Amino acid sequence: MALWMQISQQLPHLTNQTLNELYPDTFPIDVRHYLANWIEEQRWEDFDLDNAEQEPLARRLLDQMLELLHEVAFHNPNVVERVKLQHISRNMSVFQTQPMQLVRTVRDILRKERHLLGQPQMQPFQQIPAQINGTTQPPREASNHDVDALVLKVLDIQTCRQQIHQLQEELNWEKQEAEPMQGQNELDATHPDQVTKQNRITQLDYNYQVCAKKRVQLLQEAVCSLEQCQTRLIQRIKSWRWEQLRSTIGLAFDDNLVPLQTWCEQLLGVNSNLRQEVMLVKRDHGSAEHFHQLEENLNRLLQTLIQSSLVVEKQPPQVIKTQSKFSSSVRYLLGEKMAPGKPVVLKAQIITESQARNLGQGVIPTENVGELINSTAILEHNTASKSTCATFRNMSIRKIKRADRKGSESVTEEKFALLFTAEITITGCESPYIVQMISLPVVVIVHGSQENNAMATIIWDCAFSEPNRIPFVVPERVPWSQMCEALSSKFMSEVQTSRGLNGYNLHCLAQKIFDKDISGDFNNMPVSWAQFNKEVLPGRNFTFWQWFEGVIDLTKKCLKAYWSEGLIFGFIGKQHLHVILQNKPSGTFLLRFSDSEIGGITIAYVGPSESGGRKIQNIQPFTKKDLDSAGLGDRIRDISCISHVYPDLPKDEVFKKFYTVLSPPHPDGYLPFKLTTVVDPTQDQPFQISAPLPGGPFSPSYPVDPTVPQMYPPFYGENMDFIYHQ
């Protein structure tokens, strides 16, 4: 099947014309796909197409091909594919009158495939297996090939069993026929008929022994292949869970479970067929030790498959407040194979980190660490989606029992999980199986003020934990390069923007978290959990994460469009600010996130100094509350001392679409009004004033009183000593 594995990677890059020429209507690509292994094992090149004596052999290959197609269709869980394969099988009967034409067709296809792979232009399209944290992941297409190969192995075993049965019947018949002849000719051992019969019996017995040996060998190979395929399946399920965990920080995640469910169901079917074949071989050849070992291996694989097929499709929120409702859903990938009858009830309970670790050693939690209400749900099958799920719609944690904390550890650093448990019986299995799965780690809080710190714990866990870890171990320090990836991904995901953090932004963040000027390559500098969210920033009363999360929240709610269009410089330190603005004319400004206030954005601009030079000034930050009353675009329009956004774009061109359109007079006679932001550098007096809009029938003829109480102090931040003289 190696040839098909290579050519299938090139299919997306081939034109429709090439595909139609390669796979004619009489031999569709579906046949090439499903019977890839069998096709490549046959010796098509040995045929002499002009030799009529080889026609019976060609017809035998055609019969085998049609039989395999029927079997593949029968085992295919996809109804559409099943009907399609049956239709293809009927159409291929055209080769019944010309079996050598089938040989010619298949041989030409294989030759063309090899020729295509040899073309230089096909080399760049060779696929590289995907990796997750250094672990190579099997392509999803590979799983189909693995299962197809397994199905064909089972068919080979069944064919071999049928041949043995036929040989046994022939052998019994020949022995029965030979008994009278032996009585009549026992004095003449050289009697021709007796010699012929004896040779026939000897040959049949030899063929029987060969087939019996082959049958056992095929069984051993099939069980070994099943174990390898199932190992890849379980690794893929773990990878799905890992990707689900990483999606918390905004990384891509394909939540489609249909391919994994199909894979699980197919392997369950193969396991069932192989267990049946082992039972039959024990009946025919006795309970030898190696048969018993095969049976044990299959039972072990069956148990592992059944217990690995429970997944938390919709995770509970990873920060849960007591006395509040939340939901979750759990899916069983072998739901269609569950024994009918008694409903399967899934139970949820909350467990500690130490209890989650003990689960891996087979220890069932007995201590109740939290009171969880509405903690049971029935596994229900949805015929439309072919999924079997238990949905917990109104769960709530009434109370929680805290563990003894170490040192300065706070309650927002304590991780729990939900453990889902059910007793499931699979059709064809005598005993039920206990199936369990835990959720992603959760932090339980009792007050909304704890949410920010709890989310920091979750972000650190999801961003920096290793695959297949012991629950819920995380490193104490990580390289800055990993922190960069996590911060940028989380920012983009929360704001719902395609614009991430650039090098300037990340350099500024590094200087902030390390509290020092940084130059050169600092990607491998370690960042500790304490620096992330335990130690407050120098001169502030908040941590790095609390400040960064405030920026995310402000951008998400008030500044998404500005950020996405690149109008906000964002994270920039004071020194870098001086460097890029020092040669700019007065009125040049940029938008930066506040250093001293959580969730604030400020305008830094070049203005005149008292000595006639220029200096950089910072207007007091606007918070969400400020921007809710008047948007950032309107405030930029109103401030007369700024004219060009960095580097040199006129503000009225760039921000015009964000300006609020003036409202017409109200029909009841009231004058509409607007809030206007005023910054007067000469008087150090910024104003936010309310004034009637011009143009209405009741507009006053007098000027607006400039003595309206000010809402902001004049300028924000430290005194900027950097003054530029003209």
| Residue type at position 631 | G
DSSP-derived 3-state class of residue 238: helix
Is the Cα dihedral 406, 457, 594, 511 positive or negative? positive
Q: Where are the alpha helices (DSSP H) in 496-619?
A: 503-514, 529-533, 544-554, 560-564, 574-581
**Which residue do the tokens 């130059």 mark?**
519
Contacts of 574 (CB under 8 A, 6+ apart): 595
Phi and psi at residue 141, to the nearest 5°: -65, -30
Packing angle, helices 55-75 and 140-184, rounded to 10: 120
Contact 501, 491 (CB under 8 A): yes
Q: If we measure between CA atoms, which residue out of 442, 472, 461, 457 comes closest to residue 320? A: 442
184 and 284 belong to one structural domain? yes
C-alpha–C-alpha distance, residues 461 and 464, integer Å: 6
| CB neighbour burial string for 650-684, b if at least 16 within 10 angstroms, e if fewer | ebeebbeebeeeeeebeeeeebeeebbbbbebeee
User: Residue 575, class by beta-carbon neighbours within 10 Å (0-12 exposed, 13-18 middle, 19+ buried)?
Assistant: exposed
Is the Cα dihedral 194, 196, 197, 202 positive or negative? positive
Contact 645, 587 (CB under 8 A): no
390 assigned to some structural domain:
yes
C-alpha–C-alpha distance, residues 601 and 625, integer Å: 12
568 assigned to some structural domain:
no
| Residue type at position 532 | F
Low-confidence ranges of the chain (pLDDT < 70): 1-2, 119-145, 180-191, 287, 405-408, 663, 665-666, 669, 682-726
Pull the structure tokens for residue 388. 């079997």
C-alpha–C-alpha distance, residues 376 and 490, integer Å: 33
Edge-to-edge strand list for the sheet holding 723-724 = 649-650, 644-645, 588-593, 601-608, 614-618, 723-724
C-alpha–C-alpha distance, residues 440 and 462, integer Å: 9
What is the per-residue pLDDT across 316-332, written as a single tens digit (0 to 9) for each? Answer: 999 999 999 999 999 99
482 and 431 belong to one structural domain? no
C-alpha–C-alpha distance, residues 253 and 444, integer Å: 25
Name 396's bridge partners. 325, 373
209 and 290 belong to one structural domain? yes
Name 445's bridge partners. 321
**Which residue do the tokens 């022939």 mark?**
170
Contact 645, 567 (CB under 8 A): yes
569 assigned to some structural domain:
no
408 and 297 belong to one structural domain? no
139 and 284 belong to one structural domain? yes
712 assigned to some structural domain:
yes
C-alpha–C-alpha distance, residues 419 and 21, integer Å: 55
360 and 425 belong to one structural domain? yes
Helix or strand (DSSP H, E) at 673: strand 673-678
HSE-CB at 678 with a 13 A cutoff on CA atoms is 21
Pull the structure tokens for residue 303. 């148990």
pLDDT at 182: 56
C-alpha–C-alpha distance, residues 269 and 150, integer Å: 10
CA distances from 542 to 146, 321, 513, 517, 625 (A): 54, 22, 12, 20, 20
481 and 597 belong to one structural domain? no
pTM of the full structure: 0.73
CA distances from 330 to 258, 343, 349, 379 (A): 14, 15, 13, 8
**How many folded domains does the chain comprise?**
5
The string of DSSP codes covering 377-402 is EE-EEETTTTEEEEEEEEEEEEEEPP
C-alpha–C-alpha distance, residues 647 and 465, integer Å: 41
CATH number at residue 286: 1.20.1050.20
pLDDT at 72: 84
C-alpha–C-alpha distance, residues 10 and 661, integer Å: 55
115 and 139 belong to one structural domain? no
Q: Which domain holds residue 485?
A: 477-551
DSSP-derived 3-state class of residue 248: helix
Q: If we measure between CA atoms, which residue out of 149, 145, 281 comes closest to residue 224? A: 149
Contact 137, 84 (CB under 8 A): no
Contact 443, 416 (CB under 8 A): yes
Pull the structure tokens for residue 684. 């150090």
pLDDT at 446: 95
pLDDT at 709: 34
Helix, strand, coil percentages, rounded to 5, for the chain: 50, 15, 35
CA distances from 653 to 424, 589, 649, 650 (A): 66, 14, 7, 6
558 assigned to some structural domain:
no
Helix or strand (DSSP H, E) at 683: none
CATH number at residue 43: 1.10.532.10
| Residue type at position 440 | L
572 assigned to some structural domain:
no
Q: If we measure between CA atoms, which residue out of 431, 435, 432, 433 comes closest to residue 421? A: 435
C-alpha–C-alpha distance, residues 61 and 64, integer Å: 5
What is the per-residue pLDDT across 470-484, written as a single tens digit (0 to 9) for each? Answer: 999 999 999 999 999
419 and 529 belong to one structural domain? no
Task: Calculate the CA 360 to chain-centre distance.
Answer: 23
Farthest-apart Cα atoms in the chain, separation: 144
pLDDT at 137: 52
649 assigned to some structural domain:
yes
Pull the structure tokens for residue 529. 């959990």
pLDDT at 191: 64
Domain end (from 408, 441, 464):
464
Contact 460, 467 (CB under 8 A): no
280 and 428 belong to one structural domain? no
391 and 369 belong to one structural domain? yes
CATH number at residue 421: 2.60.40.630
CATH number at residue 588: 3.30.505.10
Domain end (from 91, 111, 127):
127
300 and 223 belong to one structural domain? yes
Domain end (from 127, 155, 184):
127
Name 345's bridge partners. 378
| CB neighbour burial string for 398-414, b if at least 16 within 10 angstroms, e if fewer | eebeeeeeeeeeebbbb
CATH number at residue 532: 1.10.238.10
603 assigned to some structural domain:
yes
